Chain A
């Protein structure tokens, strides 16, 4: 017999059981594994796409930042260059000013030295001239320098005339005991010379003048009468000024005022 009813039924049952077993142990696990792998690959692709998009975004951001940084750097560089140029110019100005100031200080110092030297020369010359004059006068005429200075001053006083005398008189007229005329001399006037001078002044201007006597070494052996801006003087300082002008190569007024 080629066909058997029980075997058919048994094979039917066997096949149904086999279908269930294969579904349970083969198809479902394999398909689930494939699905899981596909899902994983899809997730990885999505991640890769997201990462790529993020990288692209970051690249754009980086490029923008780079451009901004370049621009900022260029701006800062230009600002620094401008500041450096300004500082350079300011430093140059300051240096020039400092150099000018140094030049001026040096010139002033040179001038001060020259003046000091000049003053020293003048002072020494005065002293020498004064000493020479004193000795000459003492040797030749047996007259002291102070005495001769008083005499010369009195001669000058007597020699005044015209507008000079009038002007000086007006100036002396306006003096008072509170604001007397000032009589300056390079030395302490002896009483005799002082009386002589007072007498000569009183006679010349016709009044008893109130005098204030001062000793001024700068006059260098001379006598000076001043009142209200008017002055009558004779001193060796004038001669020395002429000598100094001669030494400096400049013309100078001589002697008195």
Chain B
């Protein structure tokens, strides 16, 4: 039994390895991009539009609405990053219903990469939002003594993001695999449904947490002081 799809290796040359994580990631990427291309190939701007366009518009506007609810004023600016995070994690969770498919998010390497993306994106958005000095000053809040703790917080929450998603997705896949070997008929189906729910929740949590981190980084200290006196 494999704990991670990283261990499922198709090809290897030195450090270059083509494992199931990368392969299934490409598959997901291809499906997402091809689906988007096919649906957005004939977008209607009138009142009559296809159901797939409606689905895409609902998804996109729902993500933007969630981003705005978190407190980010210009959701379109963050839609590319946060929306892709959600769609990738959610698509990986949905794809677990396909027999033989192992979600890339069940790999700690993938979740770590996503968490690293968040770790890099948060200061980038923060600096672009309030400037380099203002952003760096936020590490000294509320007092300079808190600088080490703020840094530790950055690292720990990144680790938490990675581990949380990995643990949930890996455990879901693991439970299904174990149950398939024990009770191969009904119970794995129920657990698969539960795994779908868990995967969607994890996608939502991952995206919302990333949005919250970005929102915290982009808000100025004055705004924070206004919110938390």
Contacts and interface: CB of A to CB of B under 8 A. Distances in A.
Interface of A: 1-12, 14-23, 25-27, 29-34, 36-37, 40
In the A-B complex, the 6 residue pairs with the smallest Cβ-Cβ separation, listed nearest first, are A11-B113, A7-B109, A26-B36, A29-B40, A36-B45, A33-B43
17 contacts: A4-B6, A7-B6, A7-B21, A7-B22, A9-B113, A12-B116, A15-B113, A18-B88, A19-B81, A25-B33, A29-B43, A30-B40, A30-B53, A31-B79, A33-B44, A34-B60, A34-B61
Given A11-B25, A21-B29, A22-B87, A33 B45 contact: yes
Nearest to B20: A7
A7 B60 CA distance: 29
B2 to A, nearest CB: 11
A11 B114 contact: yes
B83 A2 contact: no
B174 interface: no
Contact of A21 (B33, B60, B117): B33
B218 interface: no
Size bracket of the B interface: 35 or more
Contact of B40 (A5, A16, A25): A25
Interface stretch (B11-19, B139-147, B206-214, B221-229): B11-19
Given A23-B79, A34-B61, 9 more contacts: A2-B109, A11-B114, A14-B22, A15-B114, A22-B80, A26-B60, A27-B79, A31-B60, A37-B45
Contacts of B60: 26-27, 30-31, 34
A15 B116 CA distance: 11
A27 B16 CA distance: 32
Contacts of B19: 4, 7
Contacts of A21: 29, 32-33, 36
Highest count of chain A CB atoms <10 Å: which of B3, B16, B46, B80 = B80
B110 interface: yes
A22 B46 CA distance: 23
A3 B109 contact: yes
Highest count of chain A CB atoms <10 Å: which of B16, B19, B84 = B84
Classify the interface of chain B: helix, strand, loop or mixed: helix
Contacts of A40: 45-46
Contact of A18 (B15, B32, B40): B32
B108 interface: yes
Contacts of A20: 80
Contacts of A36: 45
Nearest to A11: B113
Interface in B87-120: 87-88, 104, 107-110, 112-114, 116-117
B61 A10 contact: no
Contacts of A3: 6, 108-109, 112
Contacts of A8: 109, 112-113, 116
B12 to A, nearest CB: 10
Nearest to B116: A12
Contacts of A16: 117
A31 B40 CA distance: 11
A20 B83 CA distance: 11
B46 A14 contact: no
Nearest to A25: B36
B56 interface: yes
Given A22-B80, A29-B43, A14 B108 contact: no
Nearest to A27: B79
B4 interface: yes
B84 A15 contact: yes
B204 to A, nearest CB: 18
Interface in B31-57: 32-33, 36-37, 40, 43-47, 53, 56-57
Given A7-B6, A22-B33, A26-B56, A15 B87 contact: no
Nearest to A35: B45
A6 B109 CA distance: 9
A133 B140 CA distance: 172
Contacts of B25: 11, 14
Nearest to B37: A25
B164 interface: no
Contact of B32 (A22, A30, A32): A22
